Amino acid sequence: MIRPSTTKLELAEKQQAVSCGGIAVILELIKKLGLRKELNRSAKVFKLHLPYDETDHILNIALNLLAGGTCLDHIEQRRNDEAYLDALGAERIPDPTTAGDFCRRFSHLKLLMVMQAVNRVRQTVWKQQEDSFLDCATIEADGTMVETSGEKKSGIGINYKGQWGYHPLVVTLAETQELLYLHNRSGNRTSEEDSAFFYDLAIQQCTQAGFRKIVLRGDTAFSSTEHLDRWDNSGVKFILGYSAHRNLCRIADSLAKTAWKRLDRSRRSTPDKAERACRPNERERIVQTNGYKNQRLTGESYAEFEYCPTACEKTYRMIVVRKDIDVTSGQQLLFSEERYFFYITNETAGTLPAREVIRGSNQRCDQENTISQLKACGALTAPLDNLESNMAYMLFASLAWTLKIWSGLLVQVKGNESQKRVRREARNRIIRMEFWTYLNSLILLPAQIIRSSRQRVFRLLTYRPTVDLLMTLHDHIRKPLRC
């Protein structure tokens, strides 16, 4: 079907177009939320604005990623594109070198002030949501490795896997996948370093927003036993992984058989959806054929008991999952073993059964998807020369992901039941959409820029099914905000 014909290139005389026509939604969003004012008030690093102010630099980095760029050098393409400058309403924008110099002006304290400014704008977005949105806020924290091959980057370190780079701490809101806080660290730092401080900042933000329940989640490195009593006294719930220490394993071994219940993770298909046939496991077949040592999970069970950590004065629920594992070589069984996984929580048994505690802790794995999207959009990279400047770039670039989430959150779920259902589906679709799907579906649409005295018209030059969603998005963002 693909039969290339003779082609001819022509240059239009008057019309100018951009490849990212959907960026009109992002520009309207920035204007509606007053993001420029908050950033300029908190990120004061210039004595004079000649000609750029702080927000110009920050948005220049974020909009570069939303326009299809993937690195700092792609700003050079943006600044030489007259149609792109016309779309932003700018005569010029900073070049990549100037953008890098801007990032080097920030310290950790100033970057924390920038994060607080973004979170103040986030409070405005949260106020536009339904009342049910404030039922629960689940705060998750994890560390991720940002590898770099640079040998002269200040602050890099090597982790236990032999990877060189930085190890930023990422704190997110599970319900919306929003990035609440980001803290860059050397590559040899532990995952939980400084996590309690940023947990507290996130708790403060969610409390100010009016969330009726706040839950902390994290893996075994984030148990933070010295802070559990304080969080429990303030009404904060937590479901945290706990290291399998010897004393805990002894307690689990001493539990009666009647204390253990079978853990069933199988998914039951809905009545209107037929089950699909499973394909054979090729990896399992190769392992057995070659006689490799193999570990096979044969069953899971769970139990619970009361436990008081050494650094705590209170007793909490400890949920333990026992995995029965057969170690084989080919078809021959070598031996069987048991492994324990522990979860500590202050949720009562009447409020949250043990099975739901395990489910909630396992759902924390969805944060890996958020981190992978931050990497996919180019936010978690280290293009500069030291720890603070790379943290600044990560923070400014992650604003691209934040703006994408906010654009979905501002879709108002109103109207009759049918309209509510359609709008809620559109809202959830945008929030859960991968970054590059969001770009290719809603942002990277060719558009002609028509400038008038009071507005700029983005005339889309193509139609695809997602254009209807883009129009809906733009209409909802233009509506007045709830005070």
DSSP per residue over 171-196, as a string?
Answer: EEETTTTEEEEEE--BTTS-TTTTHH
Handedness of CA 152, 157, 163, 165 (dihedral sign): negative
pLDDT 10s digits, 113-172? 999 999 999 999 999 999 999 999 999 999 999 999 989 999 999 999 999 999 999 999
**Residue 397 belongs to a domain:** no
Q: Does some domain include residue 391?
A: no
For the chain, the straight-line distance linking the first and the last C-alpha, in angstroms and rounded, comes to 56
The pLDDT, as a whole number, for residue 11 is: 77
Domain that holds residue 156: 108-264+284-377
Query: Poorest-confidence range of 283-287, 358-362, 479-483?
Result: 479-483
The strands making up 332-345's β-sheet, listed across from edge to edge, are 178-183, 169-173, 137-143, 214-218, 237-242, 332-345, 316-329, 293-307, 261-262
125 and 112 part of one domain = yes
Q: Which two tokens stand for residue 43?
A: 């990120």
What's the pLDDT at 36? Answer: 94
E strand residue ranges, 73-222: 137-143, 146-147, 157-158, 164-166, 169-173, 178-183, 214-218
DSSP classification of residue 132: G
Gap between the Cα atoms of 219 and 292, Å rounded:
30
At 269 the pLDDT is: 53
The continuous run of DSSP H or E covering 362 comes out as helix 354-362
- Give DSSP secondary structure letters for 366-396: GHHHHHHHHHHTT-S---SSSHHHHHHHHHH
**Does residue 34 sit in the same domain as residue 121?**
no
Residue 448 predicted with pLDDT over 80: yes
**Residue 177 and residue 408 in contact, taking contact as beta carbons nearer than 8 Å:** no
Question: In the β-sheet with 164-166, what is the strand arrangement from edge to edge?
Answer: 146-147, 164-166, 157-158
User: How many of the other CB atoms lie within 10 Å of CB of 325?
Assistant: 15
Give the mean pLDDT of 324-336.
Answer: 91
The pLDDT score that the predictor gives to residue 319 is 96
Determine the pLDDT at residue 275.
73
Tell me, yes or no, whether 187 and 246 share the same domain: yes
pLDDT of residue 176: 95
Q: To which H or E segment does residue 285 belong?
A: helix 282-290
Omega within 30 of 0 (cis) for the link into 51: yes
Please tell me whether residues 160 and 291 are part of one structural domain.
yes
Instruction: Report the side by side order of strands in the sheet with 447-451.
Output: 17-18, 447-451, 456-460
Rounded distance between C-alpha atoms, residue 187 and residue 144, angstroms:
9
Q: Domain check: are 37 and 24 in the same one?
A: yes
Residue 415 shares a structural domain with residue 317: no
Higher pLDDT, residue 2 or 170? 170
Asked if 122 and 38 sit in the same domain, the reply is no
Show Cβ contacts of residue 375 under 8 Å, excluding neighbours closer than 6 positions. 144, 146, 381
Question: Of the candidates 80, 77, 175, 87, which has an alpha carbon nearest to the alpha carbon of residue 126?
Answer: 175
What pLDDT does 101 receive?
A: 96
Please compute the mean of the pLDDT values over residues 367-383 and round it to a whole number: 95
Residue 291 Rama label (left phi>0; alpha psi -120 to 50; beta): left
pLDDT band at 272 (very low <50, low <70, confident <90, very high): low
Phi/psi for 12 (5° steps) reads -65, 150
Residue 93 token pair:
């924008």
Name the CA dihedral angle for 367, 371, 377, 380, rounded to a multiple of 10 degrees.
160
Q: Report pLDDT for 451.
A: 82
Residue 272 belongs to some domain of the structure: no
Domain limit, last residue, from 320, 352, 377: 377
Phi (first) and psi of residue 411, to 5 degrees: -75, 115
Please give the average per-residue pLDDT across 162-183, as a whole number: 96
Segment 349-360 mean pLDDT: 92
- Asked which of 358, 377, 396 is the last residue of a domain, the reply is 377
- Whether 77 and 69 have beta carbons less than 8 Å apart is answered as yes
Domain-ending residue, one of 377, 398, 431: 377
Whether residue 311 lies inside any domain: the answer is yes
Does 467 lie in the same domain as 329?
Answer: no
Report the pLDDT value the prediction gives residue 394, as an integer from 0 to 100.
97
The CATH number assigned to the domain holding 348 equals 3.90.350.10
The verdict on residue 392 lying in a domain is no
Say how many domains are in the chain.
2
Domain match, 120 and 257 both: yes
pLDDT of residue 228: 95
| % of the chain exceeding 90 in pLDDT | 79
Q: Whole-number mean pLDDT of the chain?
A: 92
Together in a domain, 39 and 126: no
Specify whether the CB–CB gap between 207 and 216 falls below 8 A: no
Two tokens, residue 316: 């909490």
Angstrom distance (rounded) from CA 89 to CA 449? 10
pLDDT at residue 267, rounded to an integer: 64
What residue ranges in 330-465 does DSSP mark as E strands?
A: 332-345, 447-451, 456-460
Classify residue 389: in a domain, yes or no. no
**Mean pLDDT: which of 15-19, 107-111, 361-365 is highest?**
107-111
54 lies in the same domain as 132: no
122 in any annotated domain: yes
Residue 1 domain-assigned (yes or no): no
Q: Pairing between strand 293-307 and 169-173?
A: unpaired
Position 1 confidence tier, pLDDT thresholds 50, 70, 90: confident
Same domain assignment for residues 117 and 251: yes
